[in-house]
Structure 1
Amino acid sequence: MLLNAALGTPDDSGRLLADMGLRPEYFDRAVRIGERSREQCTNDDAKNARGTQDYLTRVRELRFLLRTELGWKRYDPKQAPLIVNPDKTIAIGVLLGDARTGLPGNPQPRSHRPAGITKEAAVARNQSLQQLSLFTPTTGPDDEVQLDDDEYANLATWYLLTHRFEGKKSNIVEIRSELSLPDRIGPKGRIDSWRARILLPPVRIEEIQDYTGDHAASYVVDVQER
């Protein structure tokens, strides 16, 4: 699959992901379990605890799924958590996006925060690559991978980009997401252009508040579309 592939839509995301040996369910599960992990936080936690817990759980769940089901391996360059396919050609990380995340067309979404050194290096590698190779699974001695300079240079780094909306009146939370390949960092240090985007179906969840005690917290219920 060429890196400058046309933007995906929820209808063709399955086909595009299949070219990479992936399925939409992996990302749906990571997003839903990340959202449910917010229940662990209480009003005594720091204000950003729920978002941080959501992010950390999403990273863990996505890496666990791809590692145990597809033989991918963990990779942590400069403490940036990635998961790498057995052929060492594709890496996936987790990233927060803005309100354009998961929507087709322009303007394209931007990363929520400045990219940082590790992501800047990933974008530079992506710009130099011409083609994505499909992988042939191989085995390794453990659950982590080490890359030499040549392998690192040929690693295309994608991100599960997500944005969370809270409906203040409806209590419905919608998480829009896409698997996208960053191509440029804008003047404010945020990724603002993507060489390829695979849009994923949104996740809609009902958020219910429980104010029964000092350890009150919200909890979530899946909303199924009919």
Structure 2
Amino acid sequence: MSVYVMSTNVLFENADEIASRLDQLGVMEAALREAVYQGHLQRTRLTLNHPSIYHGLNMWGEIVAALREQLRPLDWTRQEVGGYALTAHEELGLAITVASGDEATGNPSAHPCNRSRKGRNTVEAIEANRQLELFEKLLESQEDLDGKQTWVLMHHTDTARGEIRLELSRPSSIGKDGKISEWSERIILGSIPFDDELVEIYPPNGPDIEIDIRRKA
């Protein structure tokens, strides 16, 4: 049995258990892997002449677009909350955001976090996760919950090992530094090997875009 609890963290790394949990969430591992791979392919077309910050931003945007295309047949739709890009399933009350992770991403023995600082939208999503988790223990099913549970499709490109590690995980806490510090669940997905020569990845400072709307004086 490869599902076990470490403090508040439930870890899925066995293939059958991963498939079962993803089925409950209305997604398939192949779709998640394909989305990340498409982002990687688009990034390989960039050169050192592109602005350094664009490499990470480009991969993020392409993964978001590919994820929406891959999950559209499964009734997932695109959603933007103040520039915060989500792929959502209204009936299941779920949403997925995309983020680059550190070297611990995809490693069941490590404790990963996002690479770039997250803003208000992520903080609010994680707080909603915490509230939903409390009610989840009192209610009979996810369908009885009011609100969306947000998951993170996190990826890390390891140029030394020639692979992209990824996981679909549910965050439960974030520090003042904008880094996710706790996960309620982590679903470890198979790594994606590559043999491309890549320039260094620069994660974007977002992509939690804060839009401050003010009335003209």
- TM-score (structure 2 length as normaliser): 0.78
Aligned position for 2:175 = 186
Aligned position for 2:24 = 19
User: 1-side partners of 2:62 and 2:34: how far apart?
Assistant: 11
* Cα drift, residue 189 of structure 1: 2.2
User: Given residue 7 of structure 1, which amino acid in structure 2 is its aligned partner?
Assistant: L
Kindly indicate whether the alpha-carbon contact (under 8 Å) linking 1:176 and 1:201 is maintained by their aligned counterparts in 2.
yes
User: 1-side partners of 2:10 and 2:45: how far apart?
Assistant: 39
Equivalent residue of 2:52, what SS? coil
* Aligned counterparts, 1:31-42, within 5 A: 31-42=36-47
Equivalent residue of 2:186, what SS? strand
* Cα drift, residue 105 of structure 1: 3.5
Aligned position for 1:7 = 11
Aligned position for 1:142 = none
Kindly indicate whether the alpha-carbon contact (under 8 Å) linking 1:10 and 1:200 is maintained by their aligned counterparts in 2.
no
User: Given residue 119 of structure 2, which amino acid in structure 1 is its aligned partner?
Assistant: G
* Cα drift, residue 186 of structure 1: 1.9
Kindly indicate whether the alpha-carbon contact (under 8 Å) linking 1:97 and 1:163 is maintained by their aligned counterparts in 2.
yes
Q: Does 1:156 align with 2:165?
A: no
Kindly indicate whether the alpha-carbon contact (under 8 Å) linking 2:116 and 2:179 is maintained by their aligned counterparts in 1.
yes
Equivalent residue of 2:64, what SS? helix
User: 2-side partners of 1:207 and 1:38: how far apart?
Assistant: 10
Aligned position for 2:50 = 45
Aligned position for 1:78 = 82
Equivalent residue of 1:158, what SS? strand
User: 1-side partners of 2:20 and 2:87: how far apart?
Assistant: 21
User: 2-side partners of 1:195 and 1:33: how far apart?
Assistant: 28
1:3-26 CA-to-partner distances (Å, cap 9, x unmatched) read: x67211152311110111211001
User: 2-side partners of 1:53 and 1:95: how far apart?
Assistant: 12
Q: Percentage identity across aligned positions?
A: 27
User: 1-side partners of 2:55 and 2:172: how far apart?
Assistant: 30
* Cα drift, residue 80 of structure 1: 0.6
Q: Does 1:125 align with 2:113?
A: no
Kindly indicate whether the alpha-carbon contact (under 8 Å) linking 2:92 and 2:142 is maintained by their aligned counterparts in 1.
no
User: Given residue 120 of structure 2, which amino acid in structure 1 is its aligned partner?
Assistant: I
1:175-218 CA-to-partner distances (Å, cap 9, x unmatched) read: 11110111001242211110111110001100147xxxxxxx9x
Q: Which has the larger radius of gyration?
A: 1
Kindly indicate whether the alpha-carbon contact (under 8 Å) linking 1:10 and 1:201 is maintained by their aligned counterparts in 2.
no
User: Given residue 36 of structure 2, which amino acid in structure 1 is its aligned partner?
Assistant: V
Aligned position for 1:166 = 159
User: 1-side partners of 2:14 and 2:66: how far apart?
Assistant: 22
- TM-score (structure 1 length as normaliser): 0.75
Unaligned runs of 5+ in 1: 136-149, 210-216, 218-226
Equivalent residue of 2:55, what SS? helix
Judged with a 3 Å threshold, the aligned counterparts in structure 2 of structure 1 residues 104 and 188 are, in CA distance, closer, same or farther, namely same
Kindly indicate whether the alpha-carbon contact (under 8 Å) linking 2:88 and 2:95 is maintained by their aligned counterparts in 1.
yes
Kindly indicate whether the alpha-carbon contact (under 8 Å) linking 1:182 and 1:193 is maintained by their aligned counterparts in 2.
yes
**Count of equivalent residues:** 186
1:68-115 CA-to-partner distances (Å, cap 9, x unmatched) read: x11211111110110111315100010111111111144x21111222
